[in-house]
Amino acid sequence: MRILVVDDVGNILGVFSSEDEAYNFAKEKMKEGKKIHLKVQRERLLALDKKGKEIGEFKNVEEAYEFLKDKVKEGEKVRIVIGNKDFYVTDDTGNILGVFSSEDEAYNFAKEKMKEGKKIRIIAPAELYTK
C-alpha cells in the first residue's frame, strides 16, 4: 500500500508506505497553511502484453505467476508489473513532480521541466516477471 500526500491542486507532495509517516508529513504541511489530501493506492499486479496493454490483474504473486506460465506455454510475451502502470517524474532530490499513465506523457512533461533547467528522472513501473 502506498499513501500519496496531495495538495489541493493535485500536486503530489510525498509518497509513503507508512500511515504514520504520511500523517506526520501531512500535519507539517497543514501547519504551513496548505490544504492536504491523502490518497491510498493498493498494490496490485498487472499482466501486460508486448504492446503494454493490460490483459490481467492479480491480488497475489501466485496468481500472476500461474497466468504468466500459461501465456508463455501459448507462445505469448507477457510482463507482470507491480502496482499500477504509472510513470513518476522526480527532480534530482527525489521530489515527485508528476505521475503519468503513459511513457509519452511522462517524457513530454520531463522535457518541459528540463527546459526550465531542472534535473529530471523518470521512474517506470517496476517489473516483476518478464517472459
pLDDT value for 84? 60
Dump pLDDT digits (tens) for 18-38. 889 989 999 999 999 988 888
Give the pLDDT score at 101. 79
DSSP 3-state of 77:
coil
Reading the block at residue 120, the C-alpha cell is: 529530471
**Per residue in 55-111, pLDDT tens?**
988 877 678 878 888 888 898 888 877 766 678 888 877 677 888 878 889 899 999
Domain segments of the chain as ranges: 2-41, 45-130
Distance CA 84, CA 103 (A): 13
The winner for highest mean pLDDT among 6-10, 45-49, 61-65, 80-84 is 45-49
User: Please, how many CA atoms are within 13 Å of residue 74, restricted to the half-sphere of its CB?
Assistant: 10
